Amino acid sequence: MRNLPERNLAVELLERLLEGEIKTRFASNVVQQNKFSELLANVIKRYQNRSIETAQVMEELIQMAKKFKEAVDRGVDLGLNSDELAFYDALASNEDSVCELGDETLKKIAHELAENLRKSARVDWSVRESVRASLKLMVKRILRKYKYPPTKQEEAIQLVLEQAESLSAIFEFIG
């Protein structure tokens, strides 16, 4: 890519490749998908506003691709499968929770959430409000069980539910 004579074309090609990677690799991880989509949009916006040169944007996009790989490999380092990592990311987005509970407790919560979602994946809960309400209660119960910090707890619940919806669609597709 660096050696292409048409730099603008190379930037556009890299942007499209990275958009596709974000959608593919992080389809089941709402937090990571949002994070990387925002990073990509910011880099491209700076490039379009002429804040950075073509060579700089290409370097930033290449670095972003390396960060994708690191983000994907993080699950292995933490000992979590992709579903558990998605919940872990949702829970860890609240910095207070990371400070108060630590990685090990967040891993336990993520594992329990993923396990409970797998058990309830048989029902299309995204359509039925009663099933959605029971899922919300399940999430609240698990968070209380592990003493998840009350600050931003409601935001965490909504993010976990959004993550659960994303994963349940995949579970239903697979199952």
Residues 6+ apart with CB under 8 A from 148: 91, 97, 101, 109, 156
Taking phi over 0 as left and psi of -120 to 50 as alpha, with beta for the rest, 147 belongs to: left
Q: What is d(CA 95, CA 31) in angstroms, rounded to the nearest whole number?
A: 14
Q: What is the pLDDT of residues 115-163, one digit of tens each?
A: 988 877 655 555 567 777 888 888 889 988 998 887 778 888 888 888 8
Residues in the chain: 175
Q: What is the pLDDT of residue 173?
A: 43
pLDDT of residue 107: 92
- pLDDT tens-digit series, residues 57-91: 888 888 888 888 888 788 888 889 888 999 999 88
pLDDT, mean over the chain: 81
**Does residue 121 contact residue 168 with C-beta atoms inside 8 Å?**
yes
Give per-residue pLDDT as tens, 7-59.
Answer: 677 778 878 888 888 888 787 788 889 999 999 999 989 888 888 887 788 88
Domains of the chain, by residue range, sit at 7-77, 82-174
